[in-house]
Amino acid sequence: MTSAKKYNLKEVSGNFNIAGDFISASPYGSGHINDTFAVTFSQGGANVRYIIQRINHNIFKNPVALMDNIDRVTSHIHGKLSSSGDASRKALSLIRSGNGLPHHMDREGNCWRTYIFVENAKTYDIIETPEQAFQAAKAFGEFQRHLVDLPGKRLSETIPDFHNTPKRFESFKNTLASDSCNRAKSAKAEIAFALNHENVGTLLLNLNREGKIPERITHNDTKLNNVLLDDKTGEAVCVIDLDTVMPGLALYDFGDLVRTSTSPAAEDEKDLGKVKMQMHMYKALVQGYMSAAKDFLTKTEVEHLAFGGKLITLEIGLRFLTDYLSGDTYFKVHREGHNLDRCRTQFKLVSLIEEQEEEMNRLAEKI
């Protein structure tokens, strides 16, 4: 979590078109990348909340291009939702800065943005019910469907090669070769696991090159806690965390749902016995995703749903391992060995997916 004292949130929020008086700001959520604050304003006697975020510009090198992506994507989706009730809950709504931009750049070079706070809904770090899995997968499928006809130029790649697994392997191997923090000795089993799985990284990219899997506009960070579920109905309300919305493969999105919504264990659980690939959750994911995406997915995409889960779980595990070896410079960490713990849960899940991959494939065929 980020200290609210480090930044003057009253001053930052004063740069956005928010009516009323600033009341308070506090760090919010459990994201690994940006600094997120819930900010409360008093408007005509009522307290109204906003989400204000400082974009991590060490990771996102061009926050202005990133905000242009988000502006285009959210406007397009709002256009589609405008006839359907409360659109401001169903897609993120940007509040513009005083000079009409979707962001505010402060004197220190920090790029800030503000969203309407989606109330009466929350994110879950750990999956609890198959209904949640269904809802999350349906929401990300619908998100992809809404963007099939986004007009204008190709979206900017906010992090180039984000899901290029072979490149992730390359950078892992370079980090391992230098072992600048002398940590490789404490991760021998994980390093061996990674090196044994390098061949997994190429299949989808090859299918894409062969024209069997198309490039689409995808979310690319579809972990369970990037979708808000309604407190009362449990239905998915709104897909959030749009920093990585850019050209990608549909299976990356489905894959990250498998990674984060089949196991009842936390991403950083130390007891690996708790990590499970629960088939009933997987089934709910396939049903939810297909309910929204079946009309546009190709046969080859549908045939590789389980593979997408294995690939993305491996890739994120590899990224945690690489960050552990390089001294924890990318993901926020809250304890010693945090990234290594995260890596271990991911690799355990990869093994469990491998054991059940055929059954997972058979299940997807039937839906």
For the bound state, the minimum distance from the C-beta of residue 39 to ligand ADP, rounded and expressed in Å, comes to 11
- Name which position in 2, 7, 18, 31 contacts Mg ion (CB under 5 A): 31
CA–CA separation, 230 vs 22, rounded Å? 27
112 binds ligand ADP (CB under 6 A): no
CA–CA separation, 357 vs 308, rounded Å? 11
Count CB neighbours of 199 within 10 A: 8
Q: How many residues bind ligand ADP (CB under 6 A)?
A: 18
Ordered DSSP codes for 314-353: HHHHHHHHHHHHTTS-SS---STTHHHHHHHHHHHHHHHH
Whether 356 and 279 have beta carbons less than 8 Å apart is answered as: yes
Residue nearest to ligand ADP (CB): 31
330 binds ligand ADP (CB under 6 A): no
| Segment contacting ligand ADP by CB under 6 A, of 19-27, 30-38, 204-212, 255-263 | 30-38
Considering beta carbons, is residue 164 or 287 the nearer one to ligand GN1? Answer: 164
In the chain, count H helices and then E strands. 12, 11
For the bound state, the minimum distance from the C-beta of residue 27 to ligand GN1, rounded and expressed in Å, comes to 14
- Name which position in 12, 66, 111, 316 contacts ligand GN1 (CB under 6 A): 316
For the bound state, the minimum distance from the C-beta of residue 17 to Mg ion, rounded and expressed in Å, comes to 25
Whether 161 and 201 have beta carbons less than 8 Å apart is answered as: no
CA–CA separation, 12 vs 108, rounded Å? 12
Ordered DSSP codes for 159-213: STTTT-HHHHHHHHHHHHHH-TTS-GGG-HHHHHHHHHTGGGGGHHHHHHHTTSS
- Between the CA of residue 329 and those of 6, 253, 261, 294, what are the distances in Å? 19, 25, 26, 39
CA–CA separation, 356 vs 349, rounded Å? 11
- Name which position in 15, 31, 140, 176 contacts ligand GN1 (CB under 6 A): 31
Considering beta carbons, is residue 54 or 348 the nearer one to ligand ADP? Answer: 54
Contact characters 212-241, Mg ion, x per CB under 5 A: --------------x--------------x
Q: How many residues bind Mg ion (CB under 5 A)?
A: 3
29 binds ligand ADP (CB under 6 A): yes
For the bound state, the minimum distance from the C-beta of residue 275 to ligand GN1, rounded and expressed in Å, comes to 15
244 binds ligand GN1 (CB under 6 A): yes
Question: Among 24, 40, 50, 198, which residue's Cα sits nearest to residue 118?
Answer: 50
- Binding partner at 197 among ligand ADP, Mg ion, ligand GN1, none, C-beta below 5 to 8 Å by kind: none
Considering beta carbons, is residue 59 or 184 the nearer one to ligand ADP? Answer: 59
- Binding partner at 267 among ligand GN1, Mg ion, ligand ADP, none, C-beta below 5 to 8 Å by kind: ligand GN1
Task: Show the CA angle centred on residue 358, arms to residues 352 and 306, nearest 5°.
Answer: 70
Considering beta carbons, is residue 32 or 104 the nearer one to ligand ADP? Answer: 32
Contact characters 116-145, ligand ADP, x per CB under 6 A: -xx----x----------------------
CA–CA separation, 164 vs 181, rounded Å? 25
Question: Among 200, 199, 311, which residue's Cα sits nearest to residue 253?
Answer: 311
Contact characters 241-280, ligand ADP, x per CB under 6 A: x-x-------------------------------------
CA–CA separation, 40 vs 236, rounded Å? 24
What residues from 197 to 226 belong to the interface with ligand GN1 (CB under 6 A)? Answer: 221, 223, 226
- Binding partner at 265 among Mg ion, ligand GN1, ligand ADP, none, C-beta below 5 to 8 Å by kind: none
- Between the CA of residue 88 and those of 81, 169, 270, what are the distances in Å? 9, 40, 39
Whether 319 and 168 have beta carbons less than 8 Å apart is answered as: yes
Which residues contact ligand ADP by CB under 6 A?
28-29, 31-34, 36, 51, 92, 115, 117-118, 123, 225-226, 240-241, 243
